[in-house]
Chains A and B, each alone.
Chain A
């Protein structure tokens, strides 16, 4: 059946598989006093690209949030992160995680649940280079980022850490973009 559907038509499984939009793949609640969060079994051949949303991020200080792919290491990130302090008109090119580092910098955490970020993940399960792009707000800082992961390993999940301190809470949701 072809979109748009007409009144009275019966939608089949094939229709739903073809036309469903974002599909929730994984949901993880971040615990208290947590130094790292590994989210497994998120990426597969079911979807080519993914959307990750993390809200209400609460951390013990104001750290930079770092992203790595799993399983195993080997990924090298190239790219950068731009950030603006809400009380300023100056944009900083903060590139400490993007010059061939093992991780990408994807946001800033803060106390009182004041961290939020979004990320598109391009072709993480492929054996080609992968990409991530996104935006964030964290405790008065907001910014965006874009990186490529220069590796040919199919990835199944991801790993979050902080430059300093621990997570205390947050909600991670991973969605797959329907391949159509």
Chain B
């Protein structure tokens, strides 16, 4: 089972690019929030889509 590493997560979601939404209001996470958010995802499973899936749809 593949898992997400901190490096992969930081590359996919750099600081300053992740938002928090409440109803229709969206704001950028603070650096402290972003660090905690990244920490919470390290080691989570990489769920792969089934091989048949039509990604062109």
Q: C-beta contact mask, A36-58 vs B, less than 8 Å → 1, else 0?
A: 11111000000000000000000
Chain A residue numbers with a CB within 8 Å of B23 are: 28, 38-40
A38, A61, A140, A164, most chain B CB atoms within 10 A: A164
Query: How many A-B residue pairs lie within 8 Å, measured between CB atoms?
Result: 85
Interchain CB contact under 8 A, A61 and B46: yes
> By DSSP majority rule, is chain B's interface helix, strand, loop, or mixed?
loop
User: Quick check: is B44 within 8 A (CB to CB) of the other chain?
Assistant: yes
Residue of A whose beta carbon sits closest to that of B52? A87
Residue of B whose beta carbon sits closest to that of A139? B49
Interchain CB contact under 8 A, A163 and B57: no
Binding site for B on A (CB under 8 A): 28-40, 60-64, 85-88, 108, 110-112, 114, 139-141, 163-167
Given contacts A62-B48, A165-B12, 17 further A-B contacts (CB under 8 A): A28-B21, A28-B23, A31-B26, A33-B13, A34-B19, A35-B19, A37-B21, A38-B21, A60-B12, A60-B13, A63-B47, A86-B50, A87-B51, A87-B52, A164-B46, A166-B18, A166-B19
